[in-house]
């Protein structure tokens, strides 16, 4: 791959610097002077209606951002990604999460292999397995059908599946539920198995290498729970053969390390693979999503993948000026580089998306939380934002104060759907309409604020007028879809994947490695003996760590 272009040396960056110096945000005036602003700044991508008009941009800024994308090579690097070039340079890997949702009739040959054909071989296996569980053809060791699927993973092997499962709960088959275990804190596995019946529980262990510390620890705890419960009820006898038979019926794996899978006791035939060109945070649409597929069924999972693909096609084929993910990524660069925005709120007005912000935290911050560019040189701008959020209207009663009247610019994405999963009424009031009134009102309030004169006109005492003034000019993007279908959930994920990609290219960083997660994991292995009482290992730690470990050992009940 070519070296990154330093964005700060481009004519577009110089132009943006000039524009920012002269730019006084005034959204009230912008809308008053341009009755067509909302229409001109609104775009669509698949089923997503995206209103960018309440952002702090004008035509000149938007044109300069489009030029910036061209001058740093966003379209070219996008094309290289879709073609399977090794744009993950520190790991010398292709980046092909888009191939995970390519239709069966497409072909993409990388290093002599048709990766789309490989993807569909695994998908067919996942679909066949899902049908067996859903139909009751797959039963536990005592012949009872599966009622609970427990996904054991961490990072992308957990955040994606749990978010999508929660988002698509109305599509889950009656009589089936999923639970998710990720944290190595023993509370997680203990609480999630406490009220389950071992005879009707199936575990999916998701670990590409089958060596992930947290996942394998929790998998062993789950195996012990299963065998202890089955033996206590007399369902299975003692001995290795009985244990292997039970594990084979109650555990499957998402992994490519078939030898380790088999050593654990899982039949390698019940292992679903994926590839090194799939990063964990980009993997929910691979076999990592097996728990979701079991829950909602292959037909709905296929619709989920089709939603991803629809946005992939938009991102791949649409010019920058109309390209929703590119524009949203460029706006994030604008706020980060020119407004000192250090965080970004994602505010879904759809309760089923209550884990979406947590999912995006890994996607965005693990991807773009980097201080060096893909050629190893230091970055030349600030990179990455802290992504955070909660569903509306809960957030309104928590942190919206900061967004409305705080001292920092906090760009916010508001996400909702027109048709709710549960169309309820409170007397004669349509509750979805009441709910969305808040969605519409919040973006208007953030954009246009409230002047001191408007506050005074309400009869407010002069002494407290300043406290009730809202400056406005707080940037938001509004995203609306018809309903929270499997396709729309896929579209939303793909949208943010490509937003993240766009920002990474502008900053010149490799958005697809994650070396920052490694050091702490390595040190944990060195510290573990000290925590367990090894004085020699303890002596090798720094003074603070020694004191903390001693406190723990003295107070452990």
Instruction: State the catalytic residues.
Output: 366, 397, 521
Residue 346 CB coordination number (10 Å): 25
The SS3 call for residue 504 is helix
What the block records as the tokens of 471 is: 């400056």
186-193 vs 213-232: helix axis angle to the nearest 10?
40
- Nearest 10 degrees: CA dihedral of 62, 68, 71, 73? -100
In this structure, are strands 113-114 and 201-206 parallel, antiparallel, or unpaired? unpaired
Burial class (CB in 10 A: 0-12, 13-18, 19+), 228: exposed
Cis upstream peptide for 393 (omega within 30°): yes
Contact at 8 Å (CB) between 291 and 178? yes
**171 and 300 Cβ atoms separated by less than 8 Å:** yes
CB atoms within 10 A of CB 28: 14
Dihedral pair phi/psi, residue 204, rounded to 5°: -115, 115
d(CA 292, CA 159): 12
* Nearest CA-CA partner of 412 in 384, 388, 432, 396: 388
CA 470 to mean position of chain CA atoms: 32
Q: What are phi and psi of 93, to 5 degrees?
A: -130, 150
Supply 474's token pair: 């707080």
């Amino acid at each position: 791959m070519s070296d990154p272009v330093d964005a700060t040396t481009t004519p577009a960056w110089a132009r943006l610097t000039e524009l920012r110096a002269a730019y006084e945000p005034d959204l009230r005036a912008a809308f008053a002077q341009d009755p067509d602003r909302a229409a001109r700044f609104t775009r669509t991508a698949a089923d997503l209606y995206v209103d960018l008009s309440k952002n702090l941009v004008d035509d000149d800024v938007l044109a300069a951002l489009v030029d910036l994308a061209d001058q740093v090579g966003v379209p070219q690097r996008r094309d290289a990604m879709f073609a399977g070039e090794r744009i993950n340079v520190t790991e010398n890997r292709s980046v092909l999460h888009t191939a995970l949702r390519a239709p069966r009739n497409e072909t993409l040959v990388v290093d002599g292999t048709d990766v789309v054909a490989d993807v569909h071989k695994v998908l067919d296996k996942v679909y066949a397995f899902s049908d067996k569980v859903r139909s009751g053809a797959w039963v536990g060791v005592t012949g009872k059908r599966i009622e609970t699927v427990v996904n054991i993973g961490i990072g992308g092997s957990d955040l994606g599946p749990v978010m999508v499962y929660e988002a698509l709960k109305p599509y889950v088959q009656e009589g089936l539920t999923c639970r998710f275990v990720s944290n190595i804190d023993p509370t997680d596995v203990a609480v999630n198995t406490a009220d389950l019946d071992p005879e009707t529980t199936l575990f999916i262990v998701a670990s590409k290498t089958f060596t992930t510390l947290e996942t394998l620890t929790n998998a062993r705890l789950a195996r012990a729970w299963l065998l202890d419960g089955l033996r206590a009820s007399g369902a299975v006898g003692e001995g290795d053969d009985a244990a292997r038979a039970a594990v084979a019926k109650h555990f499957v794996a998402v992994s490519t390390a078939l030898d380790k899978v088999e050593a654990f006791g899982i039949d390698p035939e019940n292992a679903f693979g994926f590839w090194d060109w799939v990063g964990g945070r980009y993997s929910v649409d691979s076999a990592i999503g097996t728990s979701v597929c079991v829950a909602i069924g292959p037909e709905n999972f296929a619709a989920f993948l089709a939603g991803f693909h629809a946005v992939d096609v938009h991102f791949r084929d649409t010019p920058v000026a109309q390209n929703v993910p590119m524009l949203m990524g460029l706006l994030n660069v604008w706020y980060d580089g020119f407004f000192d925005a250090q965080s970004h709120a994602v505010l879904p007005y759809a309760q089923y998306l209550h884990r979406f912000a947590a999912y995006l935290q890994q996607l965005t911050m693990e991807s773009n939380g980097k201080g060096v560019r893909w050629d190893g040189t230091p970055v030349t701008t600030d990179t990455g934002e802290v992504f955070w959020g909660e569903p509306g209207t809960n957030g309104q009663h928590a942190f919206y104060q900061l967004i409305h009247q705080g001292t920092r610019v906090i760009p916010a994405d508001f996400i909702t759907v027109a048709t709710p999963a549960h169309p309820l009424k409170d007397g004669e009031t349509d509750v979805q309409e009441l709910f969305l009134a808040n969605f519409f009102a919040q973006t208007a309030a953030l954009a246009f604020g409230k002047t001191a004169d408007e506050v005074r006109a309400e009869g407010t005492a002069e002494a407290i007028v300043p406290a009730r003034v809202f400056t406005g000019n707080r940037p938001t993007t509004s995203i609306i879809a018809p309903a929270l279908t499997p396709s729309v959930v896929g579209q939303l994920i793909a949208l943010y994947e490509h937003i993240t990609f766009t920002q990474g290219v502008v900053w010149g960083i490799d958005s697809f490695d994650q070396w920052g997660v490694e050091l702490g994991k390595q040190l944990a292995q060195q510290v573990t003996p000290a925590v367990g009482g090894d004085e020699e290992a303890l002596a090798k730690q720094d003074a603070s760590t020694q004191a903390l470990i001693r406190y723990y050992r003295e107070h452990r009940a």
